[in-house]
């Protein structure tokens, strides 16, 4: 990853993180105001409709809604993977902001192919596990 000390002002450097943060807060506000716990309120998961089994993302909207209400246990019950991803995104966004405040110009995250494959593998294992008797506690 190539990063360099920017010649741009802090205000210019913070534009990207501010827009990403505003988009994240906007999405969280939408989920707070429009409850995904109501069946069909955001449509239906095609994978769930076709197979009858939850995909790795099923329950993710409910998990974020629960997080906006401060109910971490309910969020974990809805989708443990989504809660972990929200935490990871919040951490990487915070690191991005700190780097930009220090004057380092660079993207939020540049995952390597290994990291992408690892994340894909985790999602696949999570999706399979939550549909087995051993991982039934992971199902939404």
Q: Is the pLDDT of residue 137 over 90?
A: no
pLDDT of residue 111: 87
Tens-place pLDDT, residues 34-92: 999 888 888 888 998 999 889 999 999 999 999 999 999 999 999 999 999 999 999 99
What are the φ and ψ backbone dihedral angles of 108, each rounded to 5 degrees?
Answer: -65, -55
Whole-angstrom distance, CA of residue 96 vs CA of residue 13: 10
pTM score: 0.85
Percent of the chain with pLDDT over 70: 96
pLDDT of residue 3: 57
For residues 87-105, give the mean pLDDT.
93
| Domain spans in the chain, listed from the N-terminal domain onward | 7-138
Q: Helix, strand, coil proportions of the chain in percent (round to 5)?
A: 65, 5, 30
**In this structure, are residues 13 and 105 in contact, taking their beta carbons and an 8 Å threshold?**
yes
Lowest mean pLDDT of 3-17, 80-94, 120-134, name the range: 3-17
């Amino acid at each position: 990853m190539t990063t360099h000390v920017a010649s741009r002002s802090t205000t210019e450097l913070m534009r990207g993180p501010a827009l990403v943060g505003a988009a994240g807060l906007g999405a969280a506000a939408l989920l707070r105001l429009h409850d995904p716990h109501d069946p069909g309120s955001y449509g239906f998961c095609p994978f769930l409709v076709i197979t009858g089994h939850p995909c790795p993302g099923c329950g993710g909207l409910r998990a974020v809604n629960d997080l906006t209400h401060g109910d971490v246990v309910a969020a974990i019950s809805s989708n443990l993977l989504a809660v972990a991803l929200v935490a990871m995104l919040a951490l990487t966004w915070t690191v991005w902001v700190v780097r930009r405040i220090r004057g380092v110009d660079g993207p939020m995250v540049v995952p390597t192919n290994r990291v992408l494959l690892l994340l894909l593998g985790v999602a696949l294992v999570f999706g399979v596990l939550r549909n087995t008797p051993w991982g039934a506690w992971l199902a939404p």
